[in-house]
């Protein structure tokens, strides 16, 4: 039995589905079901006795204590977070509440639980914290990629809150001996991603014939990793990662935002050729830049490859094609998640974004 937090969100749900398909251990899935958490992501598990879903907050100490005592998980994997940079700019408070205070609360509960375990269970227990490459800040065009020893320099309220949580996790290992692992991953894409993030937002808008908003001049660079590869990396770190270590995870796929959007448009032209808005690239619109927009992220993933033998399975070309095909085949899912709160977010974020 493992305890996963945030397992109804994009990466967490992909992780839960992959885990239950790949191994015999059961999962307790604790998720608050914020706007980003969606039980529809887990419908295929409705009759699966190996998946126990609990709606709740990682900041609820009594609930977390109870789950740890009742299920006695051999590992806790912390995906739960507020994850969208633009939302952190509009309203940072929830990012501090969940990403910093929530993680602190979880660590305190796990520390109390772990301290009371028999020695053999203490030895094998793991707390794996899922973090981001954004904690390292922004790179210039010729700077070397982020390694595990790059100094932290977070630039947004989101990345600062994740950096704070990473530091707490590190401190719980050094001070209390808690057996922690931290992963810092680059930009994920794939099925089940909420259409506030660049790739699903562009697919969603293109299918609706709406403009495709590119912040600034579109030259910002991100390293893209297919979500299934992130999940396999986390499984591998959990299985064989050295306690107290951090592992960078990336896809070796540096792309400008303009390249990503043009690639999406070309795939849509091909897979959705009957659309009245072909070529989709004519929907591209340059809008006002994100405040404090990091210019470039790049990941040096040589440590996880060298120590744990992990490499990604998908190239950007195979992963992005699968992703577009998934969104085309799951328009119902998109329609459900883009009703209600989504609309007010879009009108808030893009109200005044003309360049």
By the rule CB under 6 A, 187 interacts with ligand DAU: yes
**Which one of 38, 83, 182, 323 is in contact with ligand DAU (CB under 6 A)?**
83
By the rule CB under 6 A, 8 interacts with ligand NAD: yes
> In terms of CB distance, is 6 or 179 closer to ligand DAU?
6
Q: Is 133 a catalytic residue?
A: yes
* DSSP code of residue 301: -
Q: Which does 299 bind (CB under 5 to 8 A by kind): ligand NAD, ligand DAU, none?
A: none
Q: Which does 191 bind (CB under 5 to 8 A by kind): ligand NAD, ligand DAU, none?
A: none
By the rule CB under 6 A, 297 interacts with ligand NAD: no
Q: Which does 268 bind (CB under 5 to 8 A by kind): ligand DAU, ligand NAD, none?
A: none
CA dist., res. 280 & res. 52, Å (int): 42
Q: Is 134 a catalytic residue?
A: yes
Taking residues 9 to 48 in sequence order and writing x for each that binds ligand DAU by CB under 6 A, - otherwise, the string is ----------------------------------------
Per the listing, tokens 């030259």 go with: 219
- DSSP string of 35-54? TT--GGGGGGGTT-TTEEEE
Taking residues 178 to 217 in sequence order and writing x for each that binds ligand NAD by CB under 6 A, - otherwise, the string is -------x-xx-----x-----------------------
CA dist., res. 58 & res. 144, Å (int): 36
CA dist., res. 179 & res. 35, Å (int): 32
The residues pairing with 52 across neighbouring beta strands, listed in sequence order, are 28
Q: What's the start-to-end Cα distance of the chain, in Å?
A: 50
Minimum separation from the CB atom of position 113 to ligand NAD (A): 17
Which residue of the set 133, 223, 254, 314 is catalytic?
133
The residues pairing with 129 across neighbouring beta strands, listed in sequence order, are 78, 182
Q: Which of 185, 167, 182 is nearest to 227 (CA)?
A: 185
Helix axes 198-207, 257-271, angle to 10 degrees: 40
Residues contributing to the site for ligand NAD (CB under 6 A): 5-6, 8-12, 30-34, 36-37, 57-59, 79-81, 83, 98, 102, 130, 132, 162, 185, 187-188, 194
Residues designated as active site: 133-134, 158
């Amino acid at each position: 039995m493992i305890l996963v937090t945030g397992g109804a969100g994009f990466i967490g749900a992909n992780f839960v589905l992959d885990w239950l398909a790949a191994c015999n251990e059961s999962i307790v899935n604790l998720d608050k079901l914020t706007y980003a958490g969606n039980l529809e992501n887990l419908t295929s598990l409705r009759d699966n006795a190996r998946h126990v879903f609990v709606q709740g907050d990682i900041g609820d100490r009594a609930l977390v204590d109870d789950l740890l005592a009742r299920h006695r998980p051999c590992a806790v994997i912390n995906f739960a977070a507020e994850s969208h940079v633009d939302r952190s700019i509009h309203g940072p408070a929830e990012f501090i509440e969940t990403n910093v205070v929530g993680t602190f609360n979880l660590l305190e509960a796990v520390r109390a639980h772990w301290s009371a375990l028999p020695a053999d269970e203490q030895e094998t227990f793991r707390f794996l914290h899922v973090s981001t490459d954004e904690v390292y800040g922004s790179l210039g065009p010729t700077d070397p990629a982020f390694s595990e020893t790059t100094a932290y320099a977070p630039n947004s309220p989101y990345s600062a809150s994740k950096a704070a949580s990473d530091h707490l996790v590190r401190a719980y290992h050094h001070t209390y001996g808690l057996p922690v692992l931290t992963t810092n991953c680059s930009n994920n894409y794939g099925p089940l991603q909420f259409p506030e993030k660049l790739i699903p937002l562009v697919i969603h808008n293109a299918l609706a014939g709406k403009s495709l908003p590119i912040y600034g001049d579109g030259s910002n660079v991100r390293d893209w990793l297919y979500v299934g590869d992130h999940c396999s990396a986390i499984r591998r770190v959990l299985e064989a990662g050295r306690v107290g270590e951090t592992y960078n995870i990336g896809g070796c796929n540096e792309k400008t935002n303009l390249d990503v959007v043009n690639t999406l448009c070309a795939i849509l032209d091909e897979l959705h050729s009957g659309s009245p808005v072909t070529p989709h690239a004519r929907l591209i619109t340059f809008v006002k830049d994100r405040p404090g927009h990091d210019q470039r992220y790049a990941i040096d993933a040589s440590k996880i490859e060298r120590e744990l033998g992990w490499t990604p399975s998908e190239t950007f070309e195979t992963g992005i094609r699968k992703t577009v095909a998934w969104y085309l085949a799951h328009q119902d899912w998109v329609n459900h998640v883009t009703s209600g709160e989504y609309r007010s977010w879009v009108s808030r974020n893009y109200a005044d974004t003309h360049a």
